[in-house]
Structure 1
Amino acid sequence: MVRIGTVVMGASDVRRAASFWKSALGYVEREPLEDGWVVLVPAEGHGVGLALGRSESPVQEVPRVHLDLYTEEQDAEVGRLLALGAERVAWELYPPDPDFVVLADPEGNRFCVIDTTHGQV
């Protein structure tokens, strides 16, 4: 049996990306950022980690892999994430009555904020 331990994302400015995701998720650095690499983990110690590594690859406009952040307070969380430096993405692929909002982190990596009160998640 295996499980997901860490999700890895690229960033051209790892320090900036780490600052955003630490604030967005309440995560902390497992070890100090070094050589363009850092692993962030939940402050309470349990859950999936987020690793950020220096990358010069362009961001995919429609990424094959992305993060879904679950919340019962979508509007408030979207507002909080925008204040932290996220940006709204003009997403033409929304279905009717979507339960998600597409945002991008300061590096341009897309992620979704899912309204868990909208239906089953």
Structure 2
Amino acid sequence: MISIGNNGEEIISTNYWESDVAKRGFCYLSGNAGHWRLLIPKSFPEAVSEFRKVREASIEPSIAIKGHIDVIAEDGSSSPYCISLSRQMIDRSLVRKRCRLLVYSEGELVTDIPLRVQV
């Protein structure tokens, strides 16, 4: 089970980085204080790079995998980078709204960008 210590929307501690799911390359989406945090394992450097480049992200039902959601790095192109997540990799229910997405990799905050949740 993934545990996360919070300070508002910020993550101050988590066992995710040492977890089997992180070691297998799975991302994790956690909500707190009205915002979302995307945890990207070190085995996924292209995801970190893509989310660093953009000024906005969105969460939508996946168009590729039924029952999953896509976290999309909105770059203005017709084929933006996205990460598909199963509902088991999300720690709470998604609600349609605008908020912030904090992207973490190996415990470090990579970026903090506006987010549209459209589920």
State the TM-score, normalized to the length of structure 2.
0.27
Structure with the higher fraction of residues in strand conformation? 2
Superposition TM-score, scaled by structure 1 size? 0.27
Q: Which protein shows a greater Rg?
A: 1
